[in-house]
Amino acid sequence: MTREEFIGIYRSIVPEHAYREVNGVGIYTIPAFSAFPGIDHGFSARTGGVSTGCFSSLNLSFTRPEQRENVMENYRIFCAAANIPVDSMVMDAYEHGTTVLCVDRNDNRRGYDRPALPPCDGLVTDDPEVTLITGHADCMAFYFYDPVRKCIGLCHAGWRGALDRIGSEVIHTMQTACGSDPKDIECGVGPSICPKCFEVGDDVAELFEIAFPVCTLLGVNRRGRATVDLWQVAAAQFLECGVRPEHIHLSGVCTFEDTRLYSHRRDKGKTGGMAAYLRLLDHTDC
């Protein structure tokens, strides 16, 4: 893939999202993913929960300095609004790495009210009794769905994970564990810090430029500082793996700019966290 080819493909991807509120709980979705009858997915906003102060109000991060019971109650509220069985949740234990774990119903509630999984930023399953959950507060959520092999993947992709190609790791795991062909895999990117808001030091900018030479991912903001387009980084690693251009879907929502979302950077670390979720729907019992 040349630089010109990549930019042509990237420009053809039109970001699209939907937003709804159920009992005051906000949920973002990617319309292309909503159109698949075999899955349910979404991304939480910060509205409708019980947390107060800088965590107000639907903090879904257990790693923040907040009472665990508040976060557990927020998950109960969110699951009711999003129609997720609480018992089906399996949560990542992110460390900004590239470890991807395959999980099934034996892992249900891990990270919620059962011991957390070993450190991992990505999860893969073909079990319809599992809802994959990952935590975010500017970092990208990558959603993966293979409608042929009926398996899914979800990962937390901060800048380090994105740089180290956590997205490729999830696709490789789906290939080896589920027999997926990358040509069948649909990829989505949830709400996350946008190309214009993600300011970095020159050292980080250089790392991205070296790792993703096909992208035109560097910019300069109004303060004269370098910016990195992480959404290009996402698309580039999906394409490298053999994902079809028309199977790449960006939400285009910026956590830094949208005040319905927590943003680690905007709120200078004093903030809550959102959750991405993805599950297979079992139509055999319909």
Q: Footprint of Zn ion on residues 176-195 (CB under 5 A)? A: 194
The beta strands (E) that lie in the chain are given as: 18-22, 25-29, 39-44, 89-91, 100-102, 122-125, 131-136, 140-146, 151-157, 186-189, 199-200, 218-220, 226-228, 248-250, 274-280
The count of residues interacting with Zn ion (CB under 5 A) is: 5
195 closest CA partner among 256, 280, 241, 118:
256
Amino acid type, 276: A
CB of 195 to Zn ion, least distance (A): 8
**Nearest CB to Zn ion, comparing residues 117 and 197:** 197
The H or E element spanning position 178 is helix 166-178
Q: Which stretch in 26-34, 220-228, 241-249, 252-260 sits in contact with Zn ion by CB under 5 A?
A: 252-260
**Nearest CB to Zn ion, comparing residues 159 and 256:** 256
- Characterize the bridge pairing of strands 131-136 and 89-91: parallel
- Coil, helix or strand for 152? strand
Q: In angstroms, how far is CA 240 from the centroid of its own chain?
A: 19
CB of 132 to Zn ion, least distance (A): 26
Q: Does 202 bind Zn ion (CB under 5 A)?
A: no
Give me the count of residues in the chain.
Answer: 286
Q: Does 200 bind Zn ion (CB under 5 A)?
A: no
Q: Does 253 bind Zn ion (CB under 5 A)?
A: no
CB of 162 to Zn ion, least distance (A): 16
Q: Does 254 bind Zn ion (CB under 5 A)?
A: yes
Q: Does 259 bind Zn ion (CB under 5 A)?
A: no
**Nearest CB to Zn ion, comparing residues 5 and 257:** 257
**Nearest CB to Zn ion, comparing residues 17 and 165:** 17
Task: Compute the CA torsion angle 280, 284, 285, 286 (nearest 10 deg).
Answer: 90
CB of 263 to Zn ion, least distance (A): 9
Q: Which stretch in 129-137, 180-188, 256-264, 276-284 sits in contact with Zn ion by CB under 5 A?
A: 256-264
Q: Does 197 bind Zn ion (CB under 5 A)?
A: yes
According to DSSP, the residues that pair with 227 across neighbouring strands are 199, 219
**Nearest CB to Zn ion, comparing residues 187 and 194:** 194
Query: φ and ψ at 220, to 5 degrees?
Result: -135, 130
Q: Which of 87, 104, 206, 257 binds Zn ion (CB under 5 A)?
A: 257
Query: φ and ψ at 231, to 5 degrees?
Result: -70, -35
CB of 252 to Zn ion, least distance (A): 10
Q: Does 256 bind Zn ion (CB under 5 A)?
A: yes
CB of 258 to Zn ion, least distance (A): 8
**Where does this chain bind Zn ion (CB under 5 A)?**
194, 197, 254, 256-257
